Amino acid sequence: MAEIIPLLLLGVFSGFIAGLLGVGGGLIMVPALLYLLADSINQAVLMHTAVGTALAAIVFTSISSVKAHNSRGAIHWHNFKKLTPTILLGAFSGAMLTKVMSFDFMRIFFALFEFSVAAIMYFGISSSAHVDNLGKWVWRVTGYIIGLVSAIVGIGGGTMTTPFLTYNNVDIKNAIATSAAVGMPIAIAGALGFIVAGWSVESTTGGLGFIHTQALVSIVVMSVLFAPLGAKVAHSVDGKKLKKFFAIFLAFLGLTVIAF
């Protein structure tokens, strides 16, 4: 029971943040799982297990978050359809690619990625172009990159999809809602990739490939309950303040991973 309680609390917080920021919760789950699973998982596969478990949990978190955002008509489904095909390919190939990555490489990659996105969001860097005027190749390449990087760092893609959409002048609340929807195909393809990639590895997770099933169930139970609450709060706060909070939050999580 003592081991499960922190995982349940992680589910509460990650679910709320998933709904609030449209990030799937992986940004919280991966750093937290590194600490919570450190004593029971071989370090050689610890980052892989944290990332794989986070992606599997995002599958369920996304369903709850998307339902809440869609009920408010905030999701731009036309943008979702443009990104999804290559996102699926990118997420699966990214998960498979982690099999040849070391713990430290994945850890540093995760942290540097978060710092970069935090800077873009905090300083409000944007384009003069509008998202509806982007060419098909831009959507395809962007979708693949989002899927690839998201699978490597164990996120639902919100940290890339939200800045991409806001950079091209989509309102922050619509960008967050659409990012929540995009997180579902990323999580499904990525989780499957981590199951396949970890299947032949000597398992220390007691789960499916690189997915820790006990942690997964504990997190999912609570996160699906609290994601709608986060979505409700997201639609009641000022957009500019939400972007600033998002940026500071990402930078903080990057520091926790560097310090591990």
pLDDT tens, residue by residue, 155-169 = 777 777 887 887 777
Helix (H, G, I), strand (E, B) or coil at 207: coil
SS3 content of the chain, % helix, strand, coil (to 5): 80, 0, 20
| Domain that includes residue 27, residue range | 4-258
| pLDDT: which is higher, 201 or 173 | 173
Q: Count of domains in the chain? A: 1
136-143: average pLDDT: 87
End-to-end CA distance of the chain: 25
Q: What type of residue sits at position 44? A: A
> Phi, psi (5° rounding) for residue 211?
-105, 125
Using one digit for the tens of pLDDT, what is the confidence trace for 13-70?
888 877 776 665 777 888 889 889 888 888 888 888 888 898 898 888 778 778 878 8
- Cα–Cα distance, 188 to 59 (Å, whole number): 6
Helix (H, G, I), strand (E, B) or coil at 211: strand
Contact predicate 181/227, CB 8 Å: no
